[in-house]
Structure 1
Amino acid sequence: MSSEEESVDQTPPTCGLLGLLLKNRRPTGAVNEVWPDLFIGNAATARNKTLLQNLGITHVVNAADGPQHIDTGPRFYTDTNIQYHGVEAADCRDFDLSPFFSETADFIHGALSQKGKVLVHCARGISRSGTLVLAFLMIKEGLTLEEAVELVCRSRNILPNTGFLNQLCQLDSALHRRKIKYKMQ
């Protein structure tokens, strides 16, 4: 691989990503559509079944699932047609969210493939949910981390914690290596 090819798709450092995330910030609502039929929101949005119905939400990803966090769970939505996916994640830089990247990306992709609408939320809709949406865009839509950050930040202010940013950088590098390997075959 040439050094030119390496530098074109190189994952930006965490400080560069923070600069992108903090650039051009504007007021963000409780819920925002960041990709066609894919929304990021906060806990209040996830608990407002009328709002979810009005938005046409068919699937919910709770990135703060569990009794110690936002304990909605699948039972909370039994009186709706909403399908639920929970990720019990703490918003701390030492928590490894990366094992949930693929399964959550698969859930979101499956929902969107069925013409569904997905809400991904955590407590404030900034760190955990933002991280999972960025991972989806990278894994399923083929965006680089930088492209995914720029795209989401056009519609919503997100700010994954530094641990999650490092995990996304590792994912970006792994996906880049896979593309290079595929091209060489």
Structure 2
Amino acid sequence: RLERGDETATRILPSLYIGPRSSASASSFITSHGISHILSIGSTPSPQVPGVIYHRLSLTDSSSESINIRRVCQKAGEIIDAVGSARRGGNILVHCSAGISRSPTVVTAYLMTRHQMTLRDALGLIVGARPSTCPNPGFLAQLKDMEEEIFGKQTMKSIEQLPSVRAERVALF
């Protein structure tokens, strides 16, 4: 369920947006924000807008740690980097069904691996821009493991899952 105010995509970095599936088919949003690429994460592909390049990666939104996010996050990072290096001024929208769990998880991993941000800093940036962000507990556990591999520490060690109440989530960061 979308939380009020998060029905449209949100800019995270100058050329990177996160949002729900509905933003991926809103031609007015795509045009006004210079979206040249859309990356669907495990979501039913959106109706295509002419002139936009589409990518799709499969990822089930499940708390089970048997759902391995690493390969999807690695491939998503490659796609996001390729759009950024194209130097055509295009932007990318990463979306899932609601823009709450899967797409924020993938973008968090991208910020950790490609921008050397800790998990706390990456999630803080995303939650600050998009307060409905709430990776499921299985995804969060894997992000914590990734952080420990990258930085040798966990900045959110004691947190098993993000609070379900928006104000409490935002207050964490």
Q: Name the structure where helix makes up a greater proportion of residues.
A: 1
The residue that corresponds to 1:112 in the other structure is: 84
* Structure 1 contact 35–152 (Cα < 8 Å) conserved: no
Identity, in percent, stands at 28
Deviation by residue 1:71-102 (Cα, 9 ceiling, x = unmatched): 33xxx53x622222211111111222222111
Query: Which protein has the bigger strand share?
Result: 2
**Partner Cα distance (2:141, 2:4) in 1:** 25
Question: Which has the greater radius of gyration?
Answer: 1
- 2:159 corresponds to: none
- Residue pairs, 1:83-94, within 5 angstroms: 83-94=53-64
| Structural RMSD (CA) | 1.9
CA shift at 1:122, angstroms?
A: 0.5
Q: Aligned pair count? A: 145
* CA deviation string 1:20-57 (max 9, x = no partner): xxxxx984342111111211111111122232122110
**In the alignment, residue 24 of structure 2 is paired with which amino acid?**
A
Where do 4+ consecutive residues of structure 1 move more than 4 Å? none
Q: Which residue matches 1:32?
A: 10
For 2:25, the aligned partner's letter is: R
For residue 74 of structure 2, what is the amino acid of its counterpart? S
- TM-score, reference length from structure 2: 0.77
Q: Residues 138 and 148 of structure 1 are in contact (CA less than 8 Å); yes or no, is this contact kept in structure 2?
A: yes
Higher RCO, Cα 8 Å, sep 6+ = 1
**SS of corresponding position for 1:58:** strand
Q: Which 5+ residue runs of structure 2 have no aligned equivalent? A: 153-173
1:133 corresponding residue in structure 2: 107
